[in-house]
Structure 1
Amino acid sequence: MSPGRQVFAVLGRQQGSGVLLTPHLILTCAHVVGGDEYADVAAVTGRGPLALRVIRCDDRLDFALLHSEEPLGPAPRPGALATDRPVPGCEILGFPKVQRYGGLKLDLDQYTGTALPMAGLVRKALTVELDHPPAEAPDDGPSPLAGLSGAPVYADGGLIGIVRAVPRGRGHRRLECVPLTAVLDHPDVRRLLPRDFAVPAPVVRTHPEDRPYETEYAEALGAAYRRTKIFGLDELDRRASEWDLDTAYLSLEAAAGDRGDTAPVPQRIDDLLASRPRVLIRGDAGAGKTTLVWWLAAHAATGTLGPNLAELNGLVPFVVPLRTLRARGAGFPNLADLPGVAGLVVDPAPDGWAGRVLAAGRALLLVDGLDEVPQEERDAAHAWLSGLLARYPRTRCVVTVRPLAVDPDWLGAERFEELSLLPMRDADIQAFVAAWHDAARLDDADPAGIDVLERDLSLQFRHNPVLADLARTPLLCAVICALHRLREGFLPESRWALYQSALQLLLGDRDKRRRIDAPDGIRMTVEEHQQLLQRIAAWLVRGGQTEFTRHQALHQVSRVLPGMPRVAGQGTPAEILTHLLNRSGLLQERTDDVFQFTHRTFQDFLAAKEFVEDDLVSELLQHVRDQQWHDVLLLAAGHCSRRELPALVEGVLAAGSSVRDRGRKTTLYVLAARCAQHAAWLSESLHARVRKAVKSVLPPRDASQLAQLAVLGPYVLPLLPAPEKTAEEAVTAVVSLICEVGGSEAIPYARGFAGSDRTVALAQSWARFPTEVYAREVLAHTDLANQVLNVTEPGQLPLLRTLPHARHLAFRGDFDAPELTTVLSGLSVNTVVIAENDVVTDPGFLRACGKELQQVQINHCPRVRIGALSGLDTLEDLILLAPRLGAGDLAAVAELPSLTRLILAVPELPDEGLDLTPLHQAPRQLEVLVTGVPERRITGRAALGSRLTVSR
């Protein structure tokens, strides 16, 4: 929105100016309204005048607030000076009297200047020096800036204050202003602002070129990262095949470590990123790591992230694609290199710009593909990243990596928290299928045919769990959509067959279906394409990289062509390479003269084919302990002949037997089992050895081993010990693995452990199994009297009445109040947890539980009004994680008659901190625990005495 539409003329005791603080509030100077109850305002658009009520007026600070019942438009972003250095490039907009045209009508005027943070330090005022003198005025006459009182002062696009006075004696070039932070610190103002009012962003700008450059930089980020290619749609025109990330982006689920919640469960990655300044994201190939980085970069730069990630809006993203650095042979970037490592189409940054951004805490560092760094260079990568963050500790950072590329807690000393991207759930797959087919309709002559295909594929996913298991990543789901469309419903049944079919689609069928015949004069078969591409892929894998230059690729093609005379006779090596880049659909230009496979998985698949065909299985096995080679080894199993596969499986087993570390042993034995699963035929004795090896690392001893074993899916279930033969201390691990595998095949195994008292995972994992069958066969036989039952899907709600022994319910997700009221009415529930809910505002539905309710937890529910918990007369425990505390909330909590314990964990605090004074009126037995709040920010502590515990 234009800043001019945020500015109003204010007509009170005198004429002044004003600016929107919120859509309903105009901020101006107190001396403009002069103590009147109402003032007229007029907009530059001609709207008005409107008579608005003066709801706050402070003569000491010299500010007033006018209230409008109707919204007047979007308000500017609040800002605050965070430097003692001059800040050039400030902008002032207002209605000085000298600007009237025709001597009567108001008109807006615009000034530029430099904020001088030290000039008004003693008076706690904001001083701005204008760049140019205003219109001249008589020595004894009014200032030419009269009427500018209340005009907004912007720096870096944010509102930092309003003009208050023009001191004499400086040629009318100096303005004295009220800092916005002083207004926002006023207790009356805080009570008038909405809860979601943005925290003022720091402004530290010291270079006149920074602001225009940041605009260009944000535009370049958008051009580079706002669009993505969707696999299987490249037969459309370029506009249709490149999909805007607003449409293509699917917020996946991730798992995080325990941060104090009683039962951490998967959450959307957007929600998890919101409260974590530094994150290491682990994810498999095709899981969406790079897409997430692109989406964050594009939207943070333009300030278009949603409310959950609003704190990132306006930050300056620095994308560091480590695969690109590897391709260029470059080292890790220094400060001056950061703006350029992503290869954006933008001019060089002003000298020192990146350092100024980092020093101000305005940087979002996005390091993509840590697994692309060779093992021997990862210590150097760690030193580079930790050194950068130690120098600039306020920098937010996201790092992506394959699941096992670095050790757990590798960045723990730098206060990184780890998230693991999870496979897509059935609902995510259905959402992806719908979105993919929406894109397919963009350029299809038969949209009705696309409708039929979409319905058929959706049904196949619902009724074929094997197919659904193949589609748990966005890449593979897109491959399945494309093949289903091409084959009109017929689909391959294994991961390896999917890739092989995808290559056939890209290298053989695509041009035929579009009736394109050798547009560049070169005709190649699918196998000929593969022979060339697999040499490039193997060379990349050997070098531990994923990107290459045209010169490097040309060298590889030139080495292969002498053995392919039919292809060599059709053109020079350069022409053959151009054909591959233009027609294969497998290579893409990432930046100028830097290329990559459209996805790492296709590179690994073709490299595996090359190693097997060149009889180099022994070379593959030399790298068996390097996780970066594991996908190549796994895909090689699909290429192996009946003679070669046993050697591969035995080699992986031998490597597992030779290591002592149980975690690495588990990794290798799981890899051997996955390779064996590719076999059309493998001797029973070797199958038995693989099963014995996997069985030797059961049950898992930590979360990492559990996740690896769960990848084997139903294969691992018969290898688990029977309930009666499972040691007491191993029950939890065995049950957790059964639940991690999930699905209908795991239900008999879960049923076997239903009578145990160590089956917390059974109550928490309902969503991983067929809903009704699991409730009937497992939950109905599980002791739920002392366990929290996770309810995450609407289909589970009516089944709660078949589980009357479930006394502790955790509703996770966006259930609305009517749904919760209906399901809780008549149930005997002792505990209710409401978690990760963005829709509920009034928790009054809890009263439907009657007199049985003793404990309530409200976790990460930003819209819930805590003060509306009144009427819960039997409530003894109240646990609030990340609550938004408004005025009167704690006073309402203090009135709960039976409350004996209150936990406030990481509350969202107002500027003045946490005031516990309202709790002084609570029953004497109330114990209070506060976590995540420094003691210096808590008032009202003394009166609570030993009943208060404060923990970091």
Structure 2
Amino acid sequence: MDPAMLVSRIAVTGIAPLIKRLFVAPGKGADLTDRPVRLSGYVSFKGEKRSLTERDLAKLASELVSRCLRSMPPHERIAEDQLDAVADTLARTLYALGDLDMDDVQAVQLGHKEMAQQLRHQNARQISELSADAAGLHDAILEIASLHVLHFFSQRSSFISRTLIEQSRKLERITKILDSLESQEASNLPEDFKFDEQYLRYMAQKHARLTIYGIDLVETPGQWPLDTAYLTLHAEPTEIEEADPLLFESGYTAVPLPSLPSDQVLTEHPRVMLRGVAGSGKTTLIQWLAVTAASQKLDPSLEYLRNRIPFVLPLRSITRKDKELPTPSGFLSAVGCPLSGIQPSGWAERTLAAGRALVMVDGIDEIPENEREETRTWLRDLLSVFPGNLWLTTSRPSAVPDKWLHAERFTELALSPMGYSDVAAFIHRWHKAAGASESFGSSLLAAVRRKQDLSRLATNPLMCGLICALHRERNAFLPDGRKELYDAALSMLYRRDRERNMGQPDGIHLREEPRIQLLQKIAHWMIRNNRAEMDRDLAERIISDALPSVASAASQGNSTQIFRHLLMRSGLLREPSPGRVDFIHRTFQDYLGAKRAIEVWDIGLLVANAGSSQWEDVIRMAVAHARPNERAELISHIMEDGDKSFVPSTRARLYLLAMACLEHAVELDPHVRKAVERRTAALLPPQSAEDVMALGEVGPMVLEFLPHDPNDMAINYDLANYTVMTASMVGTDAAIPVLAAHAHSSKFPVRFQIVNSWRRFDTDRYAEEVISHLSDTDLFFPISSLQELTTLRRLGGRPLLEVRGTFSPDELIANIDPARLWQLRLSKGSITSDLGWLNYFSNLRVLHLEDEDATIDVSSLAGMKKLRTVHAGCKQVTGAGNLPPSITLRIY
């Protein structure tokens, strides 16, 4: 029914007098106010003094329908038995005039069609129950009534005065804004825009390439384009939240803090503290975010980076003993950005004040512990002055206490170890980028799965890169342990110039042993002084002091020349900013520094720092380098310090460190080994979230001490829960038997942890040995890859599915059993605007739609007979009025 045609027919029916009855008459001077009045203050059927009751409103609506009907030709009129329904619905729709959150001036500016649409939305459910013809008549009358309502407002004596006042206020606000901009030297604003472009181009170029350690072999590049090398890992909350299965009865299933793709952490939380072990990809993630924000090449999942200005602040570069941490105006100069000298005055402050910045503070663990409190104060000050923006900080897991930035509303997340699928993807990309044979990649992947020692090492991108390079260089032969792996890696780095026929471009040739000796001295100084970076002048002085005892190096040049050779040719040092030096990765610094500490028997230094998170790898590598009697002495001293400590967490940490060292002690006094095992027995099985985090860092050896029989913990199922958490954190296939033993548990938190660890392991093996034995009662099975989806279908499907990856409707329809599925959770990437394809799942009863950026139309769900509840966490939901009463829509 065309409202425009209808209005021409009923213009003579006298609708205006009826509409006037909806509103109170203006009092003497009452409306001559400069303050707009809400519509609820005008309507005559609300408030304490009503001149029109709800019953009168129903009569008025009936009269409106009757008058409109008389103006229509007989063949266009609807059936008599539908007229009462139209009148009743129209009365309820008009009643919503009192609920509109706008004043008369805003209503007139809105327009009669949009106003009618807002009124329809208020009564969408009742309107949806009308027939098509009846709904058409209702909408036509409503649109005409809205036109008369706005006409009525515009004729009131007070409307013009309020309109003029509102226009004057807008003009005043605009004038104030312009005056404010002028006071801030408006001439700088065009420079801001121009500098934004320059700076973003610089950031996109600076971080566009990524070094993958170990790939720089003969005829292969030393770096990859970031978009080729970057691998999205996952981050998990460090806090453990137990599920409440009772919530399931209301349509919700308890979900204890699910993991997120690492590049999505800032979509859920504007402030994040991201923890991860050395080489886990923290800095690579920061590079990826910086380049993505700078280039603005955004897919829908990265829209949160739209118009963001990235600031990358590596703490090891911006902390100096003689300088304070930088204010925003000094961010660029602190990191050696060549554009710092031409940035407009106040540009960084204006960017932060506008909430447009992406501030990434990298490496809290890479500064001395006595400087971390100062860093936290610096962050607090920045946050108090510039409370908006996105903030990301990174650290090794135990460098600072849990909830270190909790008061500043930072969410703590931890990068998960690479799962089997991640390792497989990395190996495939590495071999493709390096031009290596596909068969090499396949054989390496098989070796990683088969050999526990090797799979234990392949838990982060750094180690995976080294393993790939060594595997290729050695024609599929690989070392077993971490020390042997580093020995081989250093040897490979030494040989690369010779194998490239580089000759001696600087006139210096150092054999591998003297080269390592000199690098050890630099690394030893850095670990002794808790530094991840040092001045170049100091590094040269260390070389100068060492040269008299390294004759083969002294004969080839002075300290400056020898240091430059190490910087340019060793492959282990770099100059991140002018005058500053560090190792290409902290792990190499720890390895070489530990080797030197053992050579000079600096046992006091090692034991004194055993309780520091920064020294964990140093201690482990020191045990690996030491001789049997030295290992026994070092481990014994660590245990003795643990015995003396009155702080439970410190005592546990030292015992666990001693146990971790056993992995590197090929030969050790059996009495010392038994003493370590006796002390750690009191810590196992884990009994708290803190135990889980600590034991998870120990590695696969902890699996030997975890109980495989869930009946041992039948009384307290929390122990079983913490046990499976620890096993899943280890993240190698050696953990599968432990998890499989607990797969028969009836406890929801245990089953939840097991099912959500699937992605960390080989998909098929984990499905066969673990997933297939899990009870599906109240348990969502997460799907993040097509392989998981097809594997689960092969297992017979599951009634509750959570689709986390990006899938097309065709993929989901082809691989989900419609007869078994009754509750489905869809997240970003798999939610389409048209949900009609969900009708295929005829047994679906509960649907969760979770994408805060999505706009969806739920009207296509109206025909799903068994659907009872739709939970929608989306940006905009339309079509709700078309859902039948049997379907409850919950928008959050």
The answer, yes or no, to whether TM exceeds 0.5 is yes
Q: Which moved more, 1:569-578 or 1:832-841?
A: 832-841
Equivalent pairs counted in the alignment come to 709
Shift of 1:750: 3.3
Shift of 1:617: 2.3
Q: Which moved more, 1:679-688 or 1:359-368?
A: 679-688
Match of 1:884 in 2: 875
Q: Which moved more, 1:257-266 or 1:513-522?
A: 257-266
Distance, in Å, in 1 between the alignment partners of 2:227 and 2:796 is: 44
User: Which residue of 712, 721, 733 corresponds with 2:722?
Assistant: 733
Describe the shift of the 1:336–1:694 C-alpha distance in structure 2 as closer, same or farther (beyond 3 A).
same
Q: Is the 8 A contact 2:659 2:677 kept in 1?
A: yes
Q: Is the 8 A contact 2:543 2:563 kept in 1?
A: yes
- In the alignment, does 2:557 pair up with 1:564? no
User: Which residue of 588, 591, 597 corresponds with 1:605?
Assistant: 591
- Which aligned pairs between 1:568-607 and structure 2 lie closer than 5 A? 568-607=554-593
Distance, in Å, in 2 between the alignment partners of 1:284 and 1:774 is: 25
Distance, in Å, in 2 between the alignment partners of 1:205 and 1:424 is: 50
Match of 1:301 in 2: 294
Match of 1:122 in 2: 170
- The superposition leaves residues 559-579 of structure 1 with CA deviations (integer Å, 9 ceiling, x where unpaired) of 111111222122111111111
- In the alignment, does 2:689 pair up with 1:703? yes
- In the alignment, does 2:417 pair up with 1:427? no
User: Which residue of 211, 217, 222 corresponds with 1:241?
Assistant: 222
- In the alignment, does 2:214 pair up with 1:222? no
Match of 1:331 in 2: 324
- The superposition leaves residues 337-370 of structure 1 with CA deviations (integer Å, 9 ceiling, x where unpaired) of 1231111111242222222222211222111111
- The superposition leaves residues 593-633 of structure 1 with CA deviations (integer Å, 9 ceiling, x where unpaired) of 22221111111111011101111122111011111111111
Q: Is the 8 A contact 1:550 1:595 kept in 2?
A: yes
Shift of 1:650: 2.0
Gap regions ≥5 residues in structure 1: 1-57, 63-117, 131-155, 157-202, 442-448, 906-952
SS at match of 1:790: strand
Match of 1:41 in 2: none
User: Which residue of 631, 638, 647 corresponds with 2:633?
Assistant: 647
Match of 2:655 in 1: 669
Shift of 1:677: 0.7
Distance, in Å, in 2 between the alignment partners of 1:773 and 1:298 is: 37
Match of 1:554 in 2: 540
SS at match of 1:596: strand
Distance, in Å, in 1 between the alignment partners of 2:886 and 2:564 is: 77
User: Which residue of 242, 256, 278 corresponds with 2:271?
Assistant: 278
User: Which residue of 497, 500, 504 corresponds with 2:484?
Assistant: 497
Whose radius of gyration is greater, 1 or 2? 2
Shift of 1:591: 1.5
User: Which residue of 279, 284, 306 corresponds with 1:291?
Assistant: 284
- In the alignment, does 2:746 pair up with 1:757? yes
User: Which residue of 458, 478, 482 corresponds with 2:465?
Assistant: 478
RMSD between aligned residues: 3.4
- Which aligned pairs between 1:893-912 and structure 2 lie closer than 5 A? 895-899=883-887, 902-905=889-892
- In the alignment, does 2:624 pair up with 1:638? yes
Shift of 1:763: 3.6
TM-score, structure 2 as length reference = 0.73
Q: Is the 8 A contact 2:628 2:669 kept in 1?
A: no
Q: Is the 8 A contact 2:420 2:761 kept in 1?
A: no
Distance, in Å, in 2 between the alignment partners of 1:450 and 1:876 is: 54
User: Which residue of 210, 235, 243 corresponds with 2:192?
Assistant: 210
SS at match of 1:228: strand
Distance, in Å, in 2 between the alignment partners of 1:637 and 1:245 is: 36
Match of 2:808 in 1: 816
Match of 2:374 in 1: 380
Match of 2:351 in 1: 357
Describe the shift of the 1:741–1:237 C-alpha distance in structure 2 as closer, same or farther (beyond 3 A).
closer
- In the alignment, does 2:301 pair up with 1:313? no
Match of 1:766 in 2: 758
Match of 2:161 in 1: none
Distance, in Å, in 2 between the alignment partners of 1:421 and 1:205 is: 45
Q: Which amino acid aligns with 2:800?
A: H
Distance, in Å, in 2 between the alignment partners of 1:286 and 1:534 is: 20
Match of 1:107 in 2: none
Q: Share of identical aligned residues, percent?
A: 34
Q: Which amino acid aligns with 2:236?
A: A
User: Which residue of 333, 354, 369 corresponds with 1:340?
Assistant: 333
Shift of 1:389: 0.6
Q: Is the 8 A contact 2:848 2:871 kept in 1?
A: yes
SS at match of 1:209: helix
SS at match of 1:393: coil
Distance, in Å, in 2 between the alignment partners of 1:500 and 1:468 is: 18
SS at match of 2:266: helix
TM-score, structure 1 as length reference = 0.69
Shift of 1:843: 4.2
- In the alignment, does 2:602 pair up with 1:616? yes
- The superposition leaves residues 866-919 of structure 1 with CA deviations (integer Å, 9 ceiling, x where unpaired) of 5143333323333334x232433x334xx244345x5433xxxxxxxxxxxxxx
Match of 1:417 in 2: 411
Shift of 1:778: 4.0
- The superposition leaves residues 190-216 of structure 1 with CA deviations (integer Å, 9 ceiling, x where unpaired) of xxxxxxxxxxxxx99954532223333
- The superposition leaves residues 58-98 of structure 1 with CA deviations (integer Å, 9 ceiling, x where unpaired) of 99799xxxxxxxxxxxxxxxxxxxxxxxxxxxxxxxxxxxx
- In the alignment, does 2:849 pair up with 1:858? yes
Q: Which amino acid aligns with 2:684?
A: L
Q: Which amino acid aligns with 2:501?
A: R
Distance, in Å, in 2 between the alignment partners of 1:650 and 1:797 is: 50
Shift of 1:751: 4.0
Identify the structure with the greater helix proportion: 2
Distance, in Å, in 1 between the alignment partners of 2:390 and 2:887 is: 39
Match of 1:937 in 2: none
Q: Which amino acid aligns with 1:500?
A: D
SS at match of 2:878: coil
SS at match of 2:560: helix
- In the alignment, does 2:232 pair up with 1:254? no
Describe the shift of the 1:585–1:772 C-alpha distance in structure 2 as closer, same or farther (beyond 3 A).
closer
- The superposition leaves residues 212-233 of structure 1 with CA deviations (integer Å, 9 ceiling, x where unpaired) of 2333322332343222323224
Q: Is the 8 A contact 2:218 2:499 kept in 1?
A: no
SS at match of 1:711: helix
Q: Is the 8 A contact 1:261 1:859 kept in 2?
A: no
- The superposition leaves residues 138-192 of structure 1 with CA deviations (integer Å, 9 ceiling, x where unpaired) of xxxxxxxxxxxxxxxxxx9xxxxxxxxxxxxxxxxxxxxxxxxxxxxxxxxxxxx
Shift of 1:469: 3.2
Distance, in Å, in 1 between the alignment partners of 2:406 and 2:266 is: 16
Higher relative contact order (CA 8 A, sep 6+): 2
SS at match of 1:590: coil
Shift of 1:840: 5.1
Distance, in Å, in 2 between the alignment partners of 1:459 and 1:754 is: 26
Distance, in Å, in 1 between the alignment partners of 2:885 and 2:407 is: 45
SS at match of 1:571: coil
